Every structure is written in C-alpha cells, then in structure tokens.
Structure 1
C-alpha cells in the first residue's frame, strides 16, 4: 500500500489555504465550513464541499431575500444566478426558502428544486420564479345622459352606458402606470365628459377613484333675417328677446342644452312690415342651431290729408303719438307707413307760431284702421288766436283818462291800476297811446315807450301807463309888512322879506286843497290873507293877497292896561278872547272870542282888561270869574275871567266889547267840565245825569246872569250877574261861573256856566262871535292900518 499520508496532508493543507484565500473575497453573508467527520484513523482524507446556488427568474422588485435551512440569508436584487457563500459537504442535505418577498413592485416568488442532498459538485439546480402582483383599475361616472360613451386605458376600451361604477377588463401589475381617457363622448344628447384622477401608478392596491363627470353641451340658437326694413324683435321659448335692425345672421345670447326643444317667434313686428319665421322650432342636437329663417315683407301705406287756414309756422302733426311731421303746406303725408289692419291716429303735437294759431284735426277723419290703400282724407283746420291787449296803470287819481289803440279806446276810472283794449289776432301790430289826459286832479299820463308798440305774439300783450299829477304855483302879493313875514300852505313855508311885495309856492299838486296862512307875523303887525284857500285845478293861482296892519297884543297881567289910538287912525280891528275856566282832571271850558271893527278917534285912550284863568285853586279868574268850592282832595275850579275894551273910563258900564270866560269844572264822581264862554248866550255846563238834571251852572245872556245849579240837600250855586260869574255851591265839588257881559251861574257838584259876550253897536261893527275858542288866559289884539 502506497503511503499517501504526506500527499493527503498536503491536500488538506492546500485546501485549507484555498479556503482562507477564498474567504477573503466571499459575499457578505458568512460562509460556515461543513462539519468534518473525525478521522477514523491517523492520516484519513476530509470529505469534499460544494456550493449551493441556482437562478432567479422574473424578479422586478427589490428586497427579495433567500435563506438556507442553516439560517444563511442571501439578498437578491435582480434576475439571474445566485450562490450562497457557505459550502456544504457532499452528501449533506440542503433546503432553500424565500424569507422575504420583493416589493416595489410587489411580487410573489416561489422556489423549485429548493431541497435535496449535495452530490458531486456545486448545486445549481435551484430555481426561484417571481411573478408581479396585479390589481384592478375602476372608477365611477356621473351626469351621463347620452349614449356611445367609451373610455380607454392603453389598448383596452370600455363602453359606459349609464351612471355608476366602471372597471377596466384586465388587472394591472403593481407599479405600472395608467392613463384613462375618453375615446368617444356621449351623444343624444351631446355631452362632454371629463375624467378626474385619470392617471397614476399602481401602488399595491386596487385603483377605484377614477372620477368621470359628464355635462350636457349647450349651443347657440340663431338663423338669418331677410327683407327687413325697420326693427324686429324676436323671442325664444327661454324668454330671451333679440332686437334686430339689419338683414343677415342672428343668434340669441343664451345657449340651449343639447336635446332640449327650441322655439322662435316674432314678438314685435317692424313698422310697415310683416315677418314670418320658418324652422322656428325643433330639438337642439350636437351643434349650434342656425336653421331659423325670418322673412319680412312690406304691407303698409301712408297716412295724410289736407290743412286749411294755416298762416304760421311750426305746425307738427303726430301719428299714433310716435311719428312726427312738420307741416307748412296745404297737404301732408307721414313718411312712415302703417300696416294694413293697424290703427292710426293723427293729432296736433305742436301748434304754429308767427302768427300763433290753434289747429285741430277733424275727429271724423283723425283715426281709423289702415285698409289696403293710402289714407288721404285727414282734415286739419287752423284759426289764428286772439290775445288781450292791456296793461297796468300807476299813479292814476283823476278821471277822464282815455287810452286808445287805433279805433279801440278805454277810459279807466280814477284809482284804476289796470286797463284793457280788447283782443287782437296774433300777428297784429298795435300802438297804445293817451288821447285824453285825466282831470280832477289834472294829470299827465304816458305809455312806457318799450311796450307802447309791438306785435301780438302767442300771449296777452301788456304795457304800462304812468300818471303823475300836475303841479302849479300858488302866488300873490304882500302889502305893508314892515319886517319879515312867514307864510305857509301847511306843508311848505315861504319867507317874505321886508320890502318884498310878492310870494310864490312853486309846486302844488292839482286837485289838492290849499290854504295860505300866516305862520309868523311881522313884528308888531298882523297880516291877513285874502283869497288864500281853494282847490287847484289845471292852472296856477296868482290872486292871493296879503295885507299887513300894525297890531298890539295884550296878554293877561292881572291889571288894567291901556292903548292910545294913533293920531291918524279912525278904525281899529280888534280880536278879543276871554279866558278859559279853571282846569282840573285835564278838562277846561274854553273862553269866547269876538272879532270886530271899532270906530275911534286919534289920541283916544282905550282901557284894556285881559281875563285870567286858574289851574291850582278854586279862586275865580281875573275880570269876573266866579269862585269854585273845594271839598276834599279834589279842587273845583273857578270860572275864567272875561276880556273887554272900555272907552271913557274903567267902570263896568264903559265896556264896549266883551268876550265871555268859560265856566269852572266840578265833580260828582267823574270830572264835570263847565260851560264854554262867549256868544250872545254863554254855554251851560253839561248836566251830570237824569238823577240831578239841574246841578249845572247856566250861561249868562245879554240881559241877566246865568242861573246857579240846584241840588236838593246840597244848596244852590250862586247865579251870575253883570260882569261876574256866580260862585259854586258850598257843598261837594262845585265850579264857579265864567265872567262876561253877564256871568255864568255856579254849579252844585257840577261845573259853572259860561259868561256871555257883548258888543256896543255904537262902536263896533262887522262883529263875529265864537264860543269856546280860547284856552288858558285871555288875549286882546288891536290892529290898525296907516293911511
């Protein structure tokens, strides 16, 4: 037997070295040596070791892991061969299994020949077959109404007939992409379907969220118009209206859904035309409707007639309130046409002017229904308008004013503020003038120039008449004034200087009353006015005369006074005024007045007595006033004293002119005034009433004093006497009588009577008596003229 131990040892050593060398380049999996049988004897040879492997078919995913029964794992990333790192000894059993299936995509791998016994050589018969997982692709459809709807994905097609779910016939491998698209949109009605979630990648689960939404398509409704002259309004069943004014195509703004019915009608025919619609109804298909045809034909005529009396311009007629026509001739015809069978109505819209007229349409021809021919019998008649001619007047106060326009006249009354001259036809010219000026007062009236003439237009003509009252001068002469004299007419004053012999008030309105009086007498003179009053008419006044004489005025002094007649004077003018009765409670009975001419001789001395009055006591006034009676806080006043002129001495019998004084006041409840002084019989005091009718003092006469008042139980007032007023009764509040030629009687609880006046006819002439003239103290004025 050959000694093979060295050789075997060398083989084992070589194998060990080879194993070490291979271990340095082996895969990551740890390779483990097969357990070696213990040598039976020294020098025995180790058993052979072989690799375990095979091939992988169909691998697409990642993460495939194979494992042996011994626990060795091998990660496989692609199809092809594979080999475990650890060798197995010959004769040993082996088993290979899939520990982890691949993913991305998900696959299922199975092993064929995965178990057995290691023979002579490496095991390469293990086969790993991998197949990819598959999933369904589906979704849902909504809004589908039509037919013929087809979806595709790749090469697969699916026909969808209704709303709900759908699915592609075959499954899709995990990880494969998909894209679902519409191959054919639905029809009847025409719809557009949109696919949502239409594309993606299979990711380990069934896809069921493909969302198909379908909506019905809408299309325009339209067509064409031919023969149109005016404007037509079409309407469809959807409520749209369309105004068309030209031939050609048209379309309504609102679209109509496919499958819906449509209808087109004429809502408003064009004027003077009749339009008909063909193809105006149907069902909308899969496109715009353009088959509606509107054909228009003219079936209308003109409306016209005649115009009579037209003189102005601007006449406008209207037909049916719409068509306007300006007319300036005797015939007319509206250019717009009226359809046969349609109504027409002709009216006046604007009346003519220059001249202004009123035109009317004969009612029997103004309206009608259009037949088969033009209307030519509408009758319009025009008449010229008339307007009032007149105006306003200012300042008219006189009468007799006459205003005229041609042959028409009017005479407004005084104070009128308007006038009328009748009516004139529009277009007529006029001229308003004053033909007679007013009188009483005399005035000058004029017509305002801008409106006095003109032409009647379309309104009443008005002018204005202004009247002003004429003014005239009042003038006269002045004689014998020695210093400045002031005359007045009540509103204006004129100063006549010494030496001037004329005067004038230049502006005095006609119709006004005037009275020229002396406002300020010259020094120591009295001037009288002759012909100084009247009413101005239509001319001035120039005959007023003022004559001045010398004068001396005697005021109350409480003592006799004297006047010596100038040597050459034989006549005096005197003005003798008695004093008023005493004042109480604001009441006083005025004294009398005597105006007269006295015959005198040069150098003669006149004794002058001026009567006095009282306001604070019951004493009678100077020169004959009777005393009143005081009782309590109220003071009954005394009578006023008389004023007189005496010749030949100072005795009572030497009086030749006397002006009586007024009676004093009394009281019986209210203040009771005395009787006024003056006159041939002095005034009685008013009675207190029916209960005591005789308590008043009576006036003096030419032969006796006035009787005193009586009041049962209270005594009697003292009667008046020659020159003296009687005293009031010693009871109550009783006024004294006034002094006079004969004094007035005293009152009882009442006023006293007034004293009488007197003139001696041997000395006085041209006598004028005035009762109740003088207030306050008396006064005597003596006047004379020089030769």
Structure 2
C-alpha cells in the first residue's frame, strides 16, 4: 500500500510540470526590444526630437497618455506584461508654434523586454503672418524707408503703426532694417525686436528715430599722402587726399543727437612726413547740431635753397675772403645772403614745398668787374635745393699756377716748393711742379688732384741742377681747399721722421732731395730701416683709383726701356695736410729695375701678366675693377710694337680678356654698330678711354694699326670703339 501511494504522487507532479511548461512557452520570445528581458512586466518608451512648441501628448495602446515638454527620451508609466503589445500614437500635437509630430517604430507585440526604440520626430508647420510694429520720433514731413528680409520695402511718413505688405511664410523668419534714414532734417532710426520667427502676426517691432548730425571741419597745410582721421563715436576712418590742398571734410556717418564725439589723427602723412594735429578745443564735444569747426593743422614742409660759388675773385694778393659785404645773393627778391668766398652757400630762410625759388645777384662783388652767370637758379621746391651754381668765372679756363713760358732745352722751367714748412698756408700761386709731359694723374675721393713723374724738369734747389729733361718720380697733390683753386703740395715733404742721425736726415728732406733730381731709380723693398718704397722714374704709365681712394700705377717707360710693374699708393690714409706724413707706395707685382722689357704672359701659360708697355689706355669699371688696353711694348713673343690686348685686374690677379698676344695686329672692324666676338681694335698707343654710366668701356683714336691687311704704315687713328663687359664684345661705332 505504502509504495503504491508514492508512485501515484510522483506521476501527478510530473504531469503538472509538463502542463505548466506547455502554457508558458519558451523564455524571451516576442517582438518587443529593449533591456530587462525576463518574466515582465516591461516598459515602453523612446525619444523625441525637433520639439519647439508646447502641449505634445503621446498615448500608448489608446489609454496611457504622456505629456512631453522637451526633446529627449521618454517612458510611459504603464508597463506591458510578457507577451503583451504596445501602440504609441500622438494624442495632441504641439502648438505655439504649431507642429506636426510623427511616430516611427511605434507598435509591437509579444513583448519580451523593455521597449526604447519608439522615435517621435516633430517639425514646425509653416504659417502666413504679417510683420509690423510702431514708428516713433519721426519728424513731421519726413520719411524713413524700412525693409524686411532685405527685399520688402516700406516707406513710413508718420509716427504710428506700420505693417509690411508682404506676409512671411515658409520658414516664417523676419528681419526688419532701416534701408534709408530720414533727411531734412537728418535722423537716425534704430530697430528693436526686429528679427525672429513668426508663429503668428508680428506687431511689436519698434522703430525709434532721433535727430542726427554730421561731424566735420577743415584740413590745412597737408601735402603728404596717407593722412587718415578717425571719429571715436563710431570708429569711422576718413582718408584725406593732399591733391585737394586746404579742404573741408565731413565724416560720412551721422552721429545721433547727444552722442559724444572725438576726432583724432589716426595716421600721419608721409612723402613728405608731416605731423598734423587737431587744434585745441575743436576735436571733441557732444553732437547737438552739425559740427563744422574741427581744425586739422599740418605744418608746412620746408627745404633749404643753396648751391655753390665758383670763380669768385678774392682779395689780392692771396685770393682772400671778401670782408666788405659787397657780394650779395637774393632768393625770391627778399631773402638776402652775403657771400665772402668760393664754396657752398645756403640761404637762411627755407622755402615751403612746391613754392618757387629764384636766385639772383643782388649786388656784385667789389673784387671783379665781370658779372656772374647763374645756373639752375630757379625752379619749384620739391626737396632740398643744392644745385644752384653762381659762376663768376663763366666756366672759362683759369690760370691757377705755374709759368706761362714753355721750358725748352737751355731754359728749363723748374718746380718750386719751400724746403721748410711755412708758418701759414702757402700762397696758391707759389708752389708748382716742374714743367713735364707724360705724367701720371689721379683724382682721389676728396677731389684732390695727384701728379706723378713724367718727363721734364725737377724741383729747383738741386746741386747741380739738370739742364736736360728726363723722367721723374716725384709725387704731388693739388689740394682742393680753395673752391675752384687748389694748392700744390709735394707729398710728405715735411715728414719729420728721422731716418739717419749722421748726418741728420728726415723722410721729408729725403723726399725733397729726390724731387730735385731726374732719372731716379725706384726702391722695390717694403718700407723699414729708413727705406721708403717708390716706383722708378717714368712717363706714359697707366693709372687707376680704387674704391677706397688709393692710387694705382702700372708700367710706362723709364726713358730707355719699358716697365710692367704694378704699384699702389695709400692716399686714403692721409690727412688734408699731405706734406706732414709720407704716404706708402707698395710694389704689388711685375718687373723690378733689373727686369725691364718683360714679355707678356698669355694663356694657356699659367699666371698671365701684361708685358712691359707705355701709353696704354686704362679704365675703372662700376665694380672697381681695373682694365688695361694696348700701348706700345712687348708682346708674348718678345716683339716690340703696338699692342691690342685687353686685360682686367681684380682681386690681385690679372686676367687676359681679348685681343692678340702678338704685336702690330690690324683692327677687325666688322659691321659698324654691331657687336661681335671677333671684332677687335688694332694695336695702338696713346688712345683716349672713357667708362660710361652703363659700365661700357670706350676707346678713341691713338697711334697704331688700322683695318688694312696687309697693314699699311701705322698712323694716327680716329676710330671709336665700345667694349661691353657683360657680353665681352667690341663694337666699331
């Protein structure tokens, strides 16, 4: 009995379990989505976007209502049982503004988890609304033009309400602006509540008008460009053109009544520079009427007027300065200046920019009967004027120094120079080199005139004196400290440096003794131990002045042989008193006294070098390089004749440029006016050379070979050539 009861109970429990399992179904089945799967119940929700209005009500399964106020997630209060269903709909659409909200993924059945995938999207419904408001402050018989959304214009002629003719629709956006402000009188109207999105008719746009005034004044004296004024009340900037001269100005933007203003100079004029200022008490204030009294004053730009006096005769016997006040210049018939000597002058009173100037002689000098000629004496002032030339010698030749008698053999013209330094500046008409020809000459950076050697007669004082002319190696400088006169000085003649105690000898005494003799040999050693380097006596040397002002000397003839030594003299290191210290000659390269009549060295041989020669042509180009052409001397084969080789010296090195390594070459003329790499002047000496402003080298005439081949007897030439340094070509002009 007992075992039979246990079996019955076990079978009953098993059947009950099977029945319950069949009723519940498998776990997790159904169409709902979300978290929280299990045995239920489950929530229903989702998200709302685009909501702008109020009053949105959602409903689930037609019964559970939920009011939505903001965008974002939502969840209905009533849950759904396992296996249940949901259906989300919009019960009430939003208003203010009116919107339409749609539901996506709003329904499902056999729910087995929380639902969060319902999507509610809202859009604003377009409306048609009128836009208007109220105008206030508009002066009677005036008008203001308003505009909505940049297109719908409305002219308002009286205070009170206004409505634009065209309603807004679609996006329902409005933007009211003032397109034309009132005039007669000027007013500034401002808009408040002027923009937004219309959900209904708009009537609260406020347009308020107040009187407005212009800000301006006058500008005087402006001549430079770039003047800009600024009004601080609205940061407006106003450029002022000097083309209008003294002028009235008015800022374009009006200022509302009662607004403070402050006008300043934002940018000063340039070209020329001026410092314009706002006159005290005129630049600031409060706008209650049109402002016209602001004064901008730009000071006048003035420049000096002057030039130089040349050829004025001074007080005899030493051409001294005028002390009687007789020579007077005048500018513009009123600005008078007393002139006492040659040299620069400047009137005390300056002239304003763009004013005219006219210089004249107000009273003639008592020292001369001839009048003075004026050059560049009138014009318009655009910068400082220093180009007026008062020429009291009419640019004629002036006999400055020396004798008026030639020095033939038997009647030598010796040089003159005191053997000891005078207590005052020597009379300009006393010191002079001896008569000579073929000397070397330079002009230094200060305009002083230098003279070396040549063939002629020495300085007086030698014992015995030479009666025959011969080459010399004395160095003179005519110092330009007297306007258009200069004072000859024997360079270093009063140098007190002692070089020998027995008998007592100074450098200066040695220089004077050397200048008292012809045919002096050179010293090719560096200075030291009492020895001063100096080139041998010569004539017909080539010369250059370098960019530092030093003097260079090449070759020439010692009277019997030809030279090709190169020397540099340090003129740039000397003071205005060129007698107090001897300058330094430096032998750079070439033959020494034992190496005359040296052949030229031409490529392809290493270290090319011009052969010994005299009467060559020399130039200095725009870069300061030295150029040498032709002359009479030794070619590359040792032949003596007319040369046509062209050389450049730069950086301590000679470079052979063009021409022939052989003497007595005829010219290759080509076509006149046409440059060619095969063109070349014939060999020649004593030609004339110039360097033009473009850097070209010019050559004229001389004695030598023409263009005939075979050559005719050499003769005097009149052909004109130009050498282009960049193209490396000669042109027969």
TM-score by length of 1: 0.31
Indicate the structure whose relative CO is greater, using CA pairs within 8 Å and at least 6 residues apart.
1
TM-score by length of 2: 0.33
Question: More strand by proportion, 1 or 2?
Answer: 1
Larger of the two Rg values belongs to structure: 1
